[in-house]
Structures are given as structure tokens and as C-alpha cells.
Amino acid sequence: MKNRIIILLLTANMAFMTGCEEKENPLCGGSDPASDLPWLKQEINRLSAISSCNSISRSTYKKETVFIFSSCEPNFNSIPFLYRCDGTRINLEPADYQDLKFTGSIELIWKSK
């Protein structure tokens, strides 16, 4: 009986400990894509040198992790550019922008000062 109690306590302890582990980010680039993806780091450096306001966000589009490059200038209308995890640009047609829907949250990765 004593062995069963010890085994039960050890099992409960293991279940508790594994339940509190931090889950890995399932999106491309993990928890720090600005550092983990060389092409994204290069783009951030390039955009940092430009005086206009720009931002990079991450979300999911058509079941694929995408990076959304957009202008944050208040008096400037622009369309966002979408990039895949490997850094290739997704070429969208004008009609695609009319029905542009992201699934999941849109996470701000970087914004110029």
C-alpha cells in the first residue's frame, strides 16, 4: 500500500511539473523571430535606416505563418506586403487584398521609432 501511495505521488508530481512547462511558439521564428531569422533581421536593419514609420507583424494566412510589412505613417495609405517564413514575398493580386483574412492573432514583431 505504501508503494502505491509513493508511485501515485510521484506520478502526480511529474504531471504537475510537465503541465507548467512553457510551450514552444508554433509559429515560424519561434518566440524571437527578429533574432532567429537572418533574413528578417536584415530587413529590420534596412528599415531602421529609413526615416518613415514601418512595422513588421506576424500572423497566419492560409494556414501558413506570414510576416506582414506595413507602413505606420499616419497620412500615408499603403498596402501591406506578406512574406513567408523563408523570406520569399507572397505576390497577392488586387482581389486578394479585398479578402485578406488572417487567422489567429496579429503579433507586432518590430516597429520603427
The pLDDT of residue 2 = 58
Domain with 86, as residue range(s), is 27-111
The grid coordinates listed for 8 are 501515485
The answer to the question of residue 69 being in a domain is yes
**Residues forming a β-bridge with 45:** none
The grid coordinates listed for 109 are 514583431
The pLDDT of residue 33 = 97
The answer to the question of residue 14 being in a domain is no
The answer to the question of residue 58 being in a domain is yes
The answer to the question of residue 9 being in a domain is no
Buried b (16+ CB within 10 A) or exposed e, 3-22: eeeeeeeeeeeeeeeeeeee
The answer to the question of residue 48 being in a domain is yes
The answer to the question of residue 87 being in a domain is yes
Render each residue's pLDDT in the chain as its tens digit; 113 residues: 555 555 545 555 554 454 444 455 678 999 999 999 999 999 999 999 999 999 999 999 999 999 999 999 988 888 999 999 999 999 999 999 988 999 989 999 999 98
The answer to the question of residue 22 being in a domain is no
Count how many domains the chain has. Answer: 1
The pLDDT of residue 35 = 95
The answer to the question of residue 62 being in a domain is yes
